[in-house]
A = this chain, B = another copy of it.
């Protein structure tokens, strides 16, 4: 597909308080598998992911995203990115090999929206339970919602114009959709992808350095219903019940982990290539863009971040 050498959103590190309850939620309700632990962290992966982990839960007094990371094609890309992002003007740190379980070296970028974004290539390989030889399509013994994989995150910040410039112009992400004021002069939100999906990262005008939600991928609208049922059975707070986004066309539910980090499970959407023409939403249609059926935002959408 494109030339940028950035493969996907590969991991997210979430801060959680009430650690045991959080681990129980992410393993038994969301249905991820634990692949590692260290003093303050638990490492997890979705069943259909090959790498060691995609989610890190970190004991903390507050909720939120410690960092999200993009996997790159090889270690040379790290050097290239370090140069390009440095020239763009972001502060960059090198994260040493084995700073976290299963991980190799990474670069850590402080982006204009106030978030830490890492890029890395090396991470241990674990594989999937269905294996690589004459596999069945899905494994026995799935628990809870059991999404296929980590999909994307929506972040909030103040300087979203420069953040978009970094991802689009410097890193070569495709901007699939954007929301602008009715006069077209100000950017309110932007959806950016380095894969074939509608977004790997999206950024919305809002509190600096915050997480709006992190999303996992399900295969079908039927699985969205089943996921909602599982959440209700487990008395998890559901923020937005099954619906379709106008933006990305995806089908979705929003809900909260025990610390208040908003989670999403998501399916559907269109195919994106580097020639995908950006879709524009005007602010007066923002409700329809976010929740296509309700056609207005719920109060939590614009007020609850972590």
Q: Tell me the A216-275 residues at the B interface (CB within 8 Å).
A: 217, 219-222, 225, 228-229, 231-233, 238, 241-244, 246, 249, 251, 253, 268, 270-271, 273-275
**Which residues from chain B contact A229 at a C-beta distance below 8 Å?**
136-138, 244, 292-293
**Which residues from chain B contact A5 at a C-beta distance below 8 Å?**
2-3
Pair B277/A50 contact, Cβ less than 8 Å: yes
Q: Give the Cβ gap from A139 to chain B, nearest Cβ, in Å.
A: 9
Pair B137/A273 contact, Cβ less than 8 Å: no
Q: Tell me the A108-128 residues at the B interface (CB within 8 Å).
A: 125, 127
Interchain CB contact (< 8 A) of A7 among B244, B273, B277 = B273
Best-surrounded residue of A148, A251, A278 (most CB of chain B within 10 A)? A251
Pair B274/A241 contact, Cβ less than 8 Å: no
Interface size band for A:
35 or more
Main secondary structure of the interface of A (DSSP, over half): loop
Pair B3/A133 contact, Cβ less than 8 Å: no
Rounded to whole angstroms, the CA-CA distance of A276 and B5 in the bound complex is: 14
Pair B196/A225 contact, Cβ less than 8 Å: no
Q: Tell me the A1-30 residues at the B interface (CB within 8 Å).
A: 1-3, 5-8
**Which residues from chain B contact A292 at a C-beta distance below 8 Å?**
137, 228-229, 232
Q: Is A197 an interface residue (CB 8 A)?
A: yes
Interchain CB contact (< 8 A) of A242 among B217, B233, B241, B274 = B241
Q: Is A213 an interface residue (CB 8 A)?
A: no
Q: Is A71 an interface residue (CB 8 A)?
A: yes
Q: Give the Cβ gap from A188 to chain B, nearest Cβ, in Å.
A: 13
Closest to A279 in B: B132
Closest to A179 in B: B134
Interchain CB contact (< 8 A) of A275 among B2, B7, B197, B291 = B7
Rounded to whole angstroms, the CA-CA distance of A61 and B162 in the bound complex is: 57
Pair A133/B280 contact, Cβ less than 8 Å: yes
Closest to A292 in B: B232
Q: Give 21 A-B contacts (CB < 8 Å), ordered by A residue.
A: A3-B5, A7-B274, A48-B270, A50-B276, A132-B278, A132-B280, A133-B280, A134-B280, A136-B229, A136-B246, A138-B229, A195-B273, A220-B221, A221-B221, A228-B243, A228-B244, A228-B292, A229-B293, A232-B288, A242-B293, A253-B293
Q: What is A's interface to B at a CB cutoff of 8 Å?
A: 1-3, 5-8, 48, 50-51, 71, 73, 125, 127, 132-138, 140, 148-149, 194-197, 217, 219-222, 225, 228-229, 231-233, 238, 241-244, 246, 249, 251, 253, 268, 270-271, 273-282, 285, 288-289, 291-295
